[in-house]
Amino acid sequence: MAKSVRRPARKAASDPATMQGDSSWFVHDRFGMFIHWGLYALGARHEWLMHNEQIPVGEYERRYFRHFEPDLYDPQVWADTAAKAGMKYFVITTKHHEGFCLWDSDLTDYKAPNTLAGRDLLRPMVDAYRGNGLKVGFYHSLIDWHHPQYILDPHIGPYRASPEREQLNKARRQSRYADYLHGQVRELLTRFGKIDVMWFDFSYPKPDGSGKGRADWRSEELLALVRGLQPHIMLDDRLDLPYGWDIKTPEQVQPRQWVTVDGHKVVWEACQTFSGSWGYHRDEASWRDTDELIRTLVDCVSKGGNLLLNVGPTARGEFDPRAMDRILGIGEWMRRHSRSIYGCTQAPDEFGVPENCKLTWNPDRKRLYVHVLAWPYKQLWLPGQAYGERVEYAQLLHDASELTLNRVEDWQAHWVKSGPTAASVNLPQTRPGVAVPVVELFLK
Ligand code: GLC
């Protein structure tokens, strides 16, 4: 837990409203892999295609449930790739809004073992990632466009504009769906060992009651179930409850500063895609490049947050070459620079941010990391007296090559009034050939 993050006081240890998960590993590890994998990978044009194209349940089953055959699926390859990227945890869609389940649930037939895959796809994934030392997270969709008891609303889902919607709803009971939801969460949290993150998605309450929120999921009860089964779990913030969650989850947007709630800094994690879609999208051309993704990771940590970076595997069961290129490219940078990510957080205010840079800070090792986004002319100016008073040694992180410091006695920098201070770092003329060069400052 970052020291400056305020958390509500615990009332009763057994009250799920005030219980909180173990965030100590989470704020240390900083970087995770999100995986969106389901039948929509076959459509290969966004995980919301059932909604977007208003595909009825039967038709969706005929096309995708019947033809799902991930014959190249090797979870060890996935887990190895995540480890190479420096990712320390992963969050997998056990079920997305389409309703299809990756594990061998007792509560539905709409599951991987009943496809051409012929087996539980979740368990070997959990084993492989856990075997590589990554923490395990489950994304589970609250929304379900397949379940026969789920009330069809006018906003979201394949039947939102259907003239039969109200007729279909007559035979439906949302509370029976909630029973199913709770039953499946119980399976997920009792059959796969220790689960570190529970990531529910999502609520959209509307003032006129036509959306979906806590009453539809029976969120208080669900929260109690989760905390009862796995008290330490890190829970996201999408159950439509003002309490009980551990993580704020900005999505497809980078916060401008450390995320706060009621004026208090909170634990947060941005989730981002490579190209816009979460599920595998064959034709999307808007892929971010590796350097930009590295800068996004740095940006998160510089504001005290995590990055959960998504990959959408193909329906054959592979990360496609564009994804591999980015993930391994990030790994290449992380191999030499993870010191500026793990265990790091936002720098104390007294350290001004040098021009075109982002700072991260390791409070235990007292090291400040200056991520240099645009290579300056000869010197990296360090704004603020705190630098002068506290920097004792500087080096480039990727090769530990010394960077000499300029003292104010030498330079008479006008903004430093007194004391023997370091005002700037001398840089090599040529920008190092790494995606984002980092200057490591050792503080007294
Ligand atoms: C959204 C979308 C979804 C994706 C998720 C990830 O809520 O519905 O497709 O799974 O965000 O944050």
Rounded CA-CA distance 22/293 in Å is 27
For residue 362, what is the domain's CATH number? Answer: 2.60.40.1180
**Ligand 1 midpoint to CA 428 (Å):** 44
Domain co-membership, 367 together with 261: no
| Nearest atom (ligand 1) to Cα of 139 | 10
- pLDDT tens by residue, 326-351: 999 999 999 999 999 999 999 999 99
Residues with CB under 6 A from ligand 1: 36, 47-48, 201-202, 251, 271, 278
Secondary-structure percent of the chain, ordered helix, strand, coil, rounded to 5: 30, 20, 50
Query: For 38-43, what is the mean pLDDT?
Result: 98
Q: Which of 429, 427, 407, 428 is nearest to 418 (CA)?
A: 407
Q: What is the pLDDT of residue 421?
A: 56
Domain assignment present for residue 347? The answer is: no
Instruction: Tally Cβ neighbours within 10 Å of residue 145.
Output: 24
Question: Same structural domain for residues 263 and 149?
Answer: yes
Q: In one letter, which amino acid is 336?
A: R
Same domain, 320 and 395: no
Are 336 and 302 found together in one domain?
A: yes
Evaluate whether residue 6 is within a structural domain: no
**What integer pLDDT is reported at residue 18 of this predicted model?**
84
Look at the alpha carbons of 266, 267, 273, 279 in this order and tell me if their dihedral is positive or negative.
negative
Residue of 94, 201, 306, 307 to test ligand 1 pocket, by largest number of atoms within 8 Å of CB:
201
C-alpha closest to that of 88 among 135, 126, 122, 125: 135
Average pLDDT over residues 394-423: 73
pLDDT-based confidence at 3, cuts 50/70/90? very low
Look at residue 346 and tell me if it is in a domain: no
CA 34 to ligand 1: nearest atom: 6
End residue of a domain, out of 279, 313, 340: 340
Whether residues 323 and 384 share a domain: the answer is no
At residue 423 the predicted structure's pLDDT band, cuts being 50, 70 and 90, is confident
Q: What's the gap in Å between 308 CA and the centre of ligand 1?
A: 12
Q: How far is the CA of 201 from the centre of ligand 1 (A)?
A: 7
pLDDT at 415 over 70: no
Question: For a pocket test of ligand 1, which of 51, 98, 278 has the largest count of ligand atoms closer than 8 A to its C-beta?
Answer: 278
Closest residue (by CA) to atom 4 of ligand 1?
278
* Percent of the chain with pLDDT strictly greater than 70: 93
Q: Please say whether the beta carbons of 82 and 33 come within 8 A.
A: yes
Same-domain status, 42 and 181: yes
Q: How many whole angstroms separate alpha carbon 228 and alpha carbon 211?
A: 28
Same domain, 217 and 192: yes
In the listed set 340, 367, 396, which residue is the last one of a domain according to the structure?
340
Report the mean per-residue pLDDT for the chain: 94
Over residues 399-428, mean pLDDT:
72
Contacts of 430 (CB under 8 A, 6+ apart): none
Residue that wins the pLDDT comparison between 24 and 19? 24
352 lies in some domain: no
Say yes or no: 323 and 371 in one domain.
no
pLDDT for 300-332, tens place per residue? 999 999 999 999 999 999 999 999 999 999 999
Residue 204 has pLDDT above 50, yes or no: yes
Closest ligand 1 atom number to CA of residue 252: 12
What share of the chain in percent tops pLDDT 90? 89
Q: Which two tokens stand for residue 342?
A: 């793990």
Cis preceding-peptide flag for 202 (omega within 30 of 0): yes
What distance in angstroms lies between residue 372's CA and the mean position of ligand 1's atoms?
A: 32
Check residues 102 and 378 and name the one with the higher pLDDT: 102
CA of 41 to the centre of ligand 1 (A): 15
pLDDT at 9: 45
pLDDT at residue 192 tops 70: yes
Q: How many angstroms separate the CA atoms of 323 and 309, rounded? A: 11
Asked whether residue 336 falls in the same domain as residue 362, the answer is no
Q: How many domains does the chain have?
A: 2
Residue type, 103: W
Which of 34, 202, 280 gets mutated to test ligand 1 (max ligand atoms within 8 A of its CB)?
202
Average pLDDT rounded to a whole number, residues 182-196: 98
Say if 11 falls within a structural domain: no
Residue 372's contacts (CB-CB under 8 Å, 6 or more residues apart) are 354, 356, 357, 380, 436, 437, 438, 439
* Judgement on whether residues 278 and 424 belong to the same structural domain of the protein: no
CA angle 112, 197, 189 (to 5 degrees): 55
Residues 43 and 185 in one domain: yes
CATH of the domain at 230: 3.20.20.80
- Residue 168 maps to a domain: yes
Are 321 and 219 within one domain? yes
| Residue 356 per-residue DSSP state | T
In a domain, 5, yes or no: no
Rounded distance from Cα 79 to ligand 1 centre (Å)? 22
Q: Is the pLDDT of residue 212 over 80?
A: yes
- Domain containing 25 equals 16-340
Pick from 116-120, 310-314, 420-424: least confident: 420-424
Whether 7 is covered by a domain: the verdict is no
Question: Please, which residues bridge with residue 141 across strands?
Answer: 201
Query: What pLDDT score was predicted for residue 13?
Result: 60
* The two structure tokens encoding residue 174: 């949302």
